[in-house]
Structures are given as C-alpha cells and as structure tokens.
Chains A and B, each alone.
Chain A
C-alpha cells in the first residue's frame, strides 16, 4: 500500500464469486449467531476471510463490513491491529520463531538467523515456492519447552538450528509434518477456519500427541517420588517425519534430531540476534 495516490479513490473491492459468497455467508451467519452483539463476530469473521484467500483481502474487508453493518474503515482498523491477520499473501505454512527474551536466549535468535539464511528470506518474507512464510513471534506460552517454533500455530518444542532447518525443508518438500504438541499440519487456510470457530473435523486431530508435553508432567512425576532425570524426556518428532533417516550423532538419544547440537553457534554476522524495526 505504498503507491502514491493522485486523488482518485480506489474502486470498491470486487465481490466474491456468487457460490463463494453464498457459502461464506452461511458460515458468517453461524458465527454471528454465537454472540449477543453482532460486532463481536468481527475477529472470527476476519479469520474466516483469511481461510478463503489466505490473507485479509479488500474483498474480505468489504464482506465483513456488509455483514456487520460497519464501514470498511472500521473493519480495516481492527484487521490492522492484530498480528495474526495477514495484509498480503503469504505461504501455506506460517513458521514463527519465538524471539522473546527467554526463547531468544535459549537459542531462538540463533534459530531465526539460521532460518533466514537457509530460506533466503527476511522477517515476514515468503519463500519463492509459496510454501513458507518466516516470522519472528512473541512469547507463545511454552517457555518450559524453549526454544519454540510455531508452524500454523502448532507447537514445535525444544528446537535446535538443525531441527528447525529440517522442519522447513520437510514443509517445502511436502512431507507429512507432525508437531510435538498439536495435530498433523494442515494449511494456513484450514488453520484459519479452525480459528474462526469451526472445529477441526479430521479424524484423530483432537487427540494427536496425547495429553500433555513432557515438561508439563515434571512436577507431577516428582510429586510421585520419581526422579527429575526420569521425568525429563524430550519429545520425539523425528520418528514420524523421518523414518528412514540415517542415524545421526546422538541418535541413541530419545529424539536424535532434538538432541543438543555441538556445532551450532549464533550467526557471527548478527551476534545480538534479530533486531526488529517497530511496526513491521
């Protein structure tokens, strides 16, 4: 939106094709019916329009405005306030690296630098194949699993530079990827539909990866007299995604790819880690 306008206002956004409009309207009405006040449906409706086109388009803004009897300016004001709404097209997988203090210190900065170099994109950039959008994110409430990555808002716990690189390679190769906590990945649009409030209908999605991650259980195990060492188990992710991988150093470890790497170091070019500009 950096084009200089010379006085001509933009034409109204085109409408959705009729069949899309009919389908989305039915969904939107169901969402609106959940709330005593219609406007409360705006956040879920913005997730819904993201599930259609992968980002919040002008058409999507127009659609929300019409259904809630708001102006497009009012809808845009809300859409631009929240970080989960994309304002431009993005990849099928949103890869978020936590670089808030704790994860950053524990390796998040190094992972984020390494992924930028590995993928050849900067913060908010999307790979040429349209598969991965890389972004640094704020604390995602998983500090006991640091450093943490989120892919389409599923948890990838206890990451290393190597595991993160393999993860994005797997995503770009189209392999089935499973998080340490959460369901096997679906695309960004499908995820947006869940966020709009439509339950994930895929068989096994709710129960995937069990009740709690290992770190969540440590206190419970100690309270039963088990030792901390026995209680501390790192989640395996390798088994599902790389069944045929050759044994790697540390493969005797429960999750070889998550085992601490000895070769890693921070990006020497950016010893202080990613420095972000305010606003973008």
Chain B
C-alpha cells in the first residue's frame, strides 16, 4: 500500500504535505528491534542482539568516565521532564560514605502513556543491563524497579529476567569479575498515579503513603532512606546500553543537537494504526500518521496530546511540530512521555477534559490545598457544563481555579491538572459555550467508539 498524504478531508487544516519520506527511513527501532522474535524477553534472545555488550564496555571504563560518556551522549529523561540523565548521575556525591541507590520509575500511569509497559513485557533485559551500567557509574550496590502493580504480565517477565540475570552473573556478587556487587529488587506498587512523581515514589518505596516531598533536598542528596538516590524512567535507563555499545556519536546522529537520540512514540486513539513507533526525536505527528494510515477512515484530527494528559492539548494546526523537547515546548506544550493520543471530530472536548479532571481529582494525594480542593471544584464545574447546567461565568471560573492550581501546588500533578483546562479553553472555548447556550452536550458518544463505523477491511489514508 502506498501511503500518501492526499486527502480532501484534511485539506483545510493541512499545509502542503512535506516531501514524502518512507517509514523505513523515518523509523529507527533500537529497543523494539526484536520484539517480534520468539522469546524476545529471554536472556538468550537479548544476547543474540548484542545484549550486555554495552555493560562490558562500561565495566572497562572508570565509573566517572561512564557518567561523562552518558552526559556527552545528550540522553535526556524519557519520563516527561527531559532532564539530562548523565547530569542526574553526576549529582550523586561520591566518597560520602553513604549507600547510593538507583530507583527505576516503572510506575507508568500518565493517561495515554503506554511505552514502558510494552518495552518491559517484550525486552526487560534492556532495562536490567542499563541498571547495572548506571549502578556501576554512580557506585550503587542496590537498585529497585518500582513497577506499578496493575500490570502482572510485566511483573512476571521482570521476575524471570532478574532471575536469569542473577544466574548469568550480571547481578549479585562481583558482576562479571568487575568487583561490583549489585542487588536488584523488583517492587510492585499498589495503585496510585502520584507515585510516578519521584519523591512520592520514594515515600511509597519506604512503605508510606505516596505523597511528594519538599525539595530541596533533592533525591540526589537525600533520596531513598535519606541517602543519595538517582530516580530514572524505564526508557531512559533502557537506552543506556545501546549508547555504550554503539557509541555516543551514533546516538547523536539521530534527533537534534539539544534532543538527540531515538525514542518510543505511542500513537493511540482514533488513528488507523495505534501502536509503538520508535524513531529519532523530532519526527512529526504528520509523518507518523502519513506512514501508518492516518486517522480512521472518513475522519479528521481534532485535538491530541503530545505526551500524556498533563501536556497541553494541541490541534491540527500543530501536525508539523517536531516532536522533541524544544519543538513541542515552542508550540506551547511539552514533549512529556510522547503519548500521542489522537481524537477525531466526533469527540467532545469537554467530555475528554472532564474525564481527565476527574482522574486528577481522584489521584490528588491531598497533601496540598490548591490541588486537593482545586481539582474537586474543577470537576463540579465541568460536570455541570457537560450536563448543560453551566453558566458562561463558569468558564472564567474554570480558568481562575486552574490558575490557582498551576504553579502553586506541591508537585507537578497540579500543573498537569491545569494543562487540559487551559489548553482546551484556548482552542475550544466556543465548544464550551455551545454546551452552555445549547443546554447540553451536542456530541453523540456512540460515534466516537472504536466500533462506531462498523467493520472496515480497507485502510484509507487521510492524515
């Protein structure tokens, strides 16, 4: 099937399609390169694909040199904030006589985000190899994987992969004769979005309610058990072995100067082909849709998130925004987790934002007032508007409450809750007003479902 961008449906919003580039040239599977092989999660398969070669190269270097190397590669955190990974490692004070810890944040719960879970299900050893390298670099003898509890299939694979890694000498006493002793504990959470916030995660890992901590001190100084701790996202750590094995120049050959390397983009929603797309940073949503069959047949893109529900919504005006840290930032949003949730014209934006806001209200830990109270009142106002009981003044009130949460909360959950409010009012204020003047929601939710248009055998392209 030839993929083209020709489609009158989208013509109004779309600029002239860019010169066509094939998927083979645009995508660059690294972490996902062998997910379709039999037993992709096993140590044998991983070794057949140069698994643990990055570790051998790292162990031949001095720990400080490994940190410098990762820093020079330009790898930035893949969990949302984009902080340089090597710099996080460098902040760990050395020679302080305290234990150091590495904690991997596998609490993937940001609405729309679905990259770490398939990665760990299909290729857990990439993470374990990255953990051993990171622990060697920061001089840690105990690492933890904090996995959200609601993904038992992944927990099984992690248990098995850790067992294999111990048996093969990649974990335990004197790893590969390097003198490094390393314990790795897989820890299952118990259902709380807030535990994806790094300091709440540490409290949770210490057996407490998952509530964020005041910073400073930062985890690099006083983290787990008040000891220096690095908290990294799964994808960040899993990207390290390939950087060591294939070189920082190879890594920097992808992406841009400030956003180098490869990453996993997760396409979901009303698209023809939802799924994982691994490629260099800076690819655009238009390119991803062009190569994958576009939106579902007969429909057009209305709004999307670049990196989960906490990143401000974008619209079809933003199809050509480069999906890297700077590009999405310049468009008024954030790259976040690269969770590209795409909604078509059948979707009510008020309904979507109401549901996300209910989520934030439910997941607010209750520690700080702006978030705890503000998310509650946002939900009340939004439910009224969606039910046709809103007043025009409610729209300003929504913006006002969101403004009182944003930047004034204890942690980023509050900022995330404000994002969909601000951005939807910015781009779709008329739709809110329509709910108020028309005394209700003008959309039929049945038209948005995956089965609304009946079975389709053919794929049309209309990105």
* A272 and B351 contacting across the interface, CB-CB below 8 Å: yes
Which residues on B sit within 8 Å (CB–CB) of A138? 109, 111, 193, 359, 362-363
Check if B450 sits within 8 Å of A146, measured CB to CB.
yes
Shortest distance in angstroms between B412's beta carbon and chain A's nearest beta carbon? 17
CA of A2 to CA of B453, assembled, Å: 47
User: Closest residue of chain B to A278, judged by CB?
Assistant: B361
User: In the docked arrangement, what's the CA distance between A191 and B151, Å?
Assistant: 11
CB distance from A196 to the nearest CB of B (A): 8
Complex contact A199–B142 (CB within 8 A): no
Q: Which of A140, A213, A271 is in CB contact (< 8 Å) with B151?
A: A140
- Tell me whether A195 and B155 are in contact (CB under 8 A): yes
Q: Does B82 contact A (CB under 8 A)?
A: no
User: A81 to nearest B CB, angstroms?
Assistant: 4
Inter-chain contact B207/A41, CB cutoff 8 Å: yes
Interface segment among A3-11, A165-173, A203-211, A237-245: the answer is A203-211
A143 and B269 in contact (CB under 8 A), knowing A259-B455, A278-B379?
yes
Distance in Å: Cβ of A34 to nearest Cβ of chain B: 5
Q: Is the CB of B186 within 8 A of A139?
A: no
Neighbouring A residues of B163 by C-beta, 8 Å:
199
CB within 8 Å of B: which A66-122 residues: 68, 77-78, 81-85, 96, 99-102, 104-107, 109-110
Neighbour of B277 across the interface among A44, A210, A214, A222, CB < 8 A: A222
A100 x B359 contact (CB < 8 A): yes
Docked complex Cα distance between A173 and B122 (Å):
32
Task: Give A104 to B27 CA distance when docked, in angstroms.
Answer: 30
A253 at the interface (CB under 8 A from B): yes
Q: Nearest CB to that of A225 among chain B residues?
A: B24
Those of B163-203 within 8 Å (CB) of chain A:
163, 185-193
B451 touches A107 (CB 8 A): yes
- In the complex the two chains form, is A273's CB within 8 Å of B156's CB? no
State whether the Cβ of A1 lies closer than 8 Å to any Cβ in chain B.
no
Known A47-B149, A223-B28, A264-B451; judge A212-B274 contact (CB<8 A): no
Cα–Cα distance between A87 and B120 once the two chains are bound (Å): 30
Flag whether B356 is at the interface (Cβ < 8 A): yes
| Minimum C-beta distance from A187 to chain B (A) | 12
A216 to chain B, nearest CB (A): 4
Question: Which residues of chain B have C-beta atoms less than 8 A from A36's C-beta?
Answer: 99, 142, 225
Cβ contact within 8 Å between A137 and B150: yes
Chain A residues near B118 (CB-CB < 8 A): 212-213, 216
CB pair A273–B362 under 8 Å, yes or no, is no
CA distance A221 to B277 in the complex (A): 10
Residues of chain B within 8 A of A232, CB atoms compared: 272-273, 293, 459
Q: Measured between alpha carbons, how far is A216 from B343 in the docked complex, in Å?
A: 20
Tell me the residues in window 140-155 of chain A with beta carbons closer than 8 Å to chain B beta carbons: 140-147, 150, 152-155
Chain B interface residue count, CB cutoff 8 Å, equals 110
Complex formed: what's the CA distance from A205 to B207 in Å? Answer: 29
Question: B residues bordering A, Cβ < 8 Å?
Answer: 1, 3, 22-24, 27-29, 32-33, 35-41, 99, 108-114, 116-118, 121-122, 142, 148-153, 155-157, 159-160, 163, 185-193, 204-210, 225, 265-270, 272-279, 291-293, 309, 339, 341, 343, 347, 351-352, 355-356, 358-359, 361-363, 365, 376, 379, 383, 386-387, 441, 444-446, 448-451, 453-456, 459
In this complex, how many residues of chain A approach chain B with their Cβ under 8 Å: the count is 101
Chain A residues near B266 (CB-CB < 8 A)? 143-144
| B122 near A139: Cβ-Cβ < 8 Å | no
Closest chain A residue to B383, Cβ basis: A275
Question: In whole angstroms, how far apart are the Cα atoms of A215 and B422 in the complex?
Answer: 32
Apart from A40-B205, A78-B208, 19 more pairs, CB < 8 Å: A40-B207, A42-B208, A96-B150, A101-B355, A101-B359, A102-B112, A106-B448, A109-B445, A110-B449, A141-B109, A194-B156, A197-B188, A215-B273, A219-B32, A222-B27, A232-B273, A250-B455, A253-B455, A266-B444
Across the interface, B275 reaches (CB within 8 A) one of A99, A153, A215, A266, namely A215
A43 touches B445 (CB 8 A): no
Pairwise interchain contact B153-A218, C-beta atoms closer than 8 A: no
B36 touches A260 (CB 8 A): no
Contact B209 A105 (CB under 8 A): no
Please, which residue of chain B has its CB at the minimum distance from the CB of A271? Answer: B445
CA distance A77 to B352 in the complex (A): 32
Whether B39 contacts A81 by the Cβ 8 Å rule is no
4 shortest A-B CB distances, which residue pairs? A218-B275, A42-B207, A260-B451, A211-B40
Cα-based distance from A266 to B448 in the complex (angstroms): 10
Q: A78-B209, A219-B27, A223-B24 are in contact. Are A272 and B386 (CB under 8 A)?
A: yes
Nearest-neighbor residue (CB-CB) of A78 within chain B: B209
Determine whether the beta carbon of B156 is less than 8 Å from that of A82: no
| Chain A min CB distance to B14 (Å) | 19
Q: Determine whether the beta carbon of A223 is less than 8 Å from that of B27.
A: yes
Minimum C-beta distance from A31 to chain B (A):
10
Chain A: CB-nearest residue to B352:
A101
Answer yes or no: A13 CB below 8 A from chain B CBs.
no
The residues of A that contact B193 with a CB separation of less than 8 Å are: 138
Hey, which chain A residues are within 8 Å of B269, CB to CB?
102, 105-106, 143, 146
Complex: A92 Cα to B188 Cα, angstroms:
20
Q: Which residues of B contact A195 (CB under 8 A)?
A: 149, 152, 155, 188, 190
B1 and A260 contacting across the interface, CB-CB below 8 Å: no
Q: Which B residues are CB-close (under 8 A) to A99?
A: 355
* Shortest beta-carbon distance from A162 to chain B in Å: 9
Query: Can you give 14 contacting A-B residue pairs, CB < 8 Å?
Result: A43-B189, A102-B112, A110-B445, A139-B112, A143-B114, A147-B449, A181-B121, A195-B149, A195-B155, A213-B118, A218-B276, A229-B293, A229-B459, A278-B361
Decide: A262 and B455 in contact? CB cutoff 8 A.
yes
Cross-chain contact A153 with B152 (CB below 8 angstroms): yes
Given A81-B192, A142-B114: A218 touches B352 (CB 8 Å cut-off): no
Contact A211 B38 (CB under 8 A): yes
Chain B residues, Cβ within 8 Å of A143: 111-114, 266, 268-269, 274, 339, 341
Distance in angstroms between the alpha carbons of A205 and B226 in the assembled complex:
38
- What is the chain B residue whose CB lies nearest that of A38? B207
A228 to B27, CA, bound (A): 13
